[in-house]
Amino acid sequence: MVNKSITATTIGIDAYKVEVEVDTLNSLPSMTIVGLPDSAVSEARERVRSAIKNSGFSFPQGKVVVNLAPADIKKEGTNFDLPIAIGILKEEGVFPDSNSPIMKEPEQIGFIGELSLDGTLRGVNGALSLVLSLKNAGVKSVFVPKSNANEAGMVEGITVYGAKNLAEVVHHFIDEPITPTKIDIKQYLSDESNEDYPVDFKDVKGQQKAKRAMEIAAAGGHNLLMSGPPGSGKTMMAKCLASILPPLNLEEALELTKIYSICGLLSENKPLITTRPYRAVHHTASAFGIIGGGTNPKPGEITLAHRGVLFLDEIVEFPRNVLEVLRQPLEDGEVSISRAKISIKYPAKFMLIAAMNPCPCGYLGDSTKHCTCTDVQIQRYRSRLSGPMLDRIDLVINVPKLSTEELINIDESTETSADIRKRVIKAREIQAERYKNEGIFTNSELSSKQIQKYCKLDDSSKKILSLAAIKYGLSGRKYNRILKIARTIADLSGEENITSAHISQALQFRMEE
């Protein structure tokens, strides 16, 4: 008789239901796993055999055949150990009660987990995606390793049981039920409001225009490029940006948690990502490291920065091919990884914050040090950042280095990150209400059609923008980005319509390149 158990496998950041079929044949003792298993799944043969014996149960004496259906989908990971073991134990008659849910309703119970040789259950990557897929497939309850219980408990509408070992799962159906895991998601999200940030905008002296640009970028989810000499505070302000970003909503938090779970970056003590990610990438990073990929494709830095910030310091030091692969994700908000047998899409709606020096020596325009670069050197240096790449950056600002006198005499009564964040949150709330039926969250995500709908201009605003388009030769993409920035500035001011003042301010942050 063929016995079944239910589990799931991940493809990208999503997962799909898998049926584990187990049958025993009268043949020489062996175990075969079919259904496109990878090496980790095939090695389950030895782990499962030892785990069953060391948990006090008998292993079949004949040939054990395990089929992972559907057989045309590649199976990866170690989460198949537990469902395979459960299917084998069914064959051995360990569950004698035919009315037990595990025997009567096998389609409604899922199993996820890696087995140690002694039967202990180890945590697996992607538990949130796996449990969510099982819930969507109609599964009513799922057994996961204890270390994954809190993460899996984030999925509403399915009962989650966290088990320490194989024996504990078996005895749940016989005589010792496991207590379900209950998680209050709202409590995890509310804890984010007490988050302490290592840097604050009150610690940044001067640079009021740069701070304003940061506020606009945070409010609308815009990309920003800072150019200035060493010591002007570019890196510090980029770090401060995390402290003014609005808190994640539940949908964003779960989406981020799925990504970090798949990558094995989720903490057992913090099973829900509650703060927007800030990823600082070194210029030696490869294209695969940034966009993702590999033989078995995995998310890259731009996906790990989803709904948060990707910071590229010294952006012109990155190889040209690395920067150019960012163009499509910046435009579409996702990245496609194509291989011979599979094509995977990862979300990549991130804010790109970049910094660079104005010239190779770094001191062009510095009032204290003389620039030693020639015009040719400066032009060659800046040309490393291509025009199409610049077209995808919304805000471009110069960050001058403060003189000694300015540092000494500067007004210390500056705004804190908490003050700026209140305005950013208010602007984001306005956008959330405006775009609640559009499938987007921020002004930076507006399509051309949506720009026409939500960024209407009066006659004076049109005149200013037309003059700027003629004078600076604005491309269509750059023209739309100015409208998006103006829309964000209007939201920060709490105004429904875009005015000429908003357009003028938006132009100030685009004409410095």
Report in angstroms the alpha-carbon separations of 397 from 131, 150, 309, 508, 512. Answer: 45, 44, 18, 8, 6
pLDDT band at 133 (very low <50, low <70, confident <90, very high): very high
For the chain, report the end-to-end CA distance as a whole number of angstroms: 72
Please give the CATH architecture assigned to the domain spanning 3-172.
Answer: 2-Layer Sandwich (3.30)
Q: How much is the average pLDDT of 202-222? A: 91
Q: What are the beta bridge partners of residue 96?
A: none
Neighbours of 436 (CB within 10 A): 10
pLDDT band at 194 (very low <50, low <70, confident <90, very high): very low
Q: Do 170 and 213 contact (CB within 8 A), yes or no?
A: no
Q: Residue ranges of the domains in the chain?
A: 3-172
Read off the amino acid at residue 218: A
pLDDT band at 403 (very low <50, low <70, confident <90, very high): confident
pLDDT band at 391 (very low <50, low <70, confident <90, very high): confident
Q: What pLDDT score does 511 carry?
A: 53
Kindly state the DSSP code that residue 66 receives in the 8-state scheme: E
Q: What are the beta bridge partners of residue 18?
A: 7
Q: What are the beta bridge partners of residue 64?
A: 24, 31
Note the pLDDT tens digit of each residue in 290-332: 999 877 788 999 999 999 999 999 999 999 999 999 999 998 9
Q: Which residue has the higher pLDDT, 269 or 464?
A: 464
Is it the case that residue 423 has pLDDT exceeding 60? yes
Q: Which residue has the higher pLDDT, 342 or 109?
A: 109
pLDDT band at 91 (very low <50, low <70, confident <90, very high): very high
Q: What are the beta bridge partners of residue 164?
A: none
Nearest to 91 by CA among 178, 177, 5: 5
Instruction: Look up residue 132 and give its two tokens.
Output: 């969510």
Is it the case that residue 143 has pLDDT exceeding 60? yes
Q: How much is the average pLDDT of 240-260? A: 92
Model-wide pTM > 0.75:
yes
Whole-number percent of the chain with pLDDT over 70: 96
Q: How much is the average pLDDT of 81-101? A: 92
Q: Which residue has the higher pLDDT, 187 or 94?
A: 94
Q: How much is the average pLDDT of 377-398? A: 92
Q: What angle do CA 220, 226, 227 make, to 5 degrees?
A: 160
Kindly state the DSSP code that residue 161 receives in the 8-state scheme: E
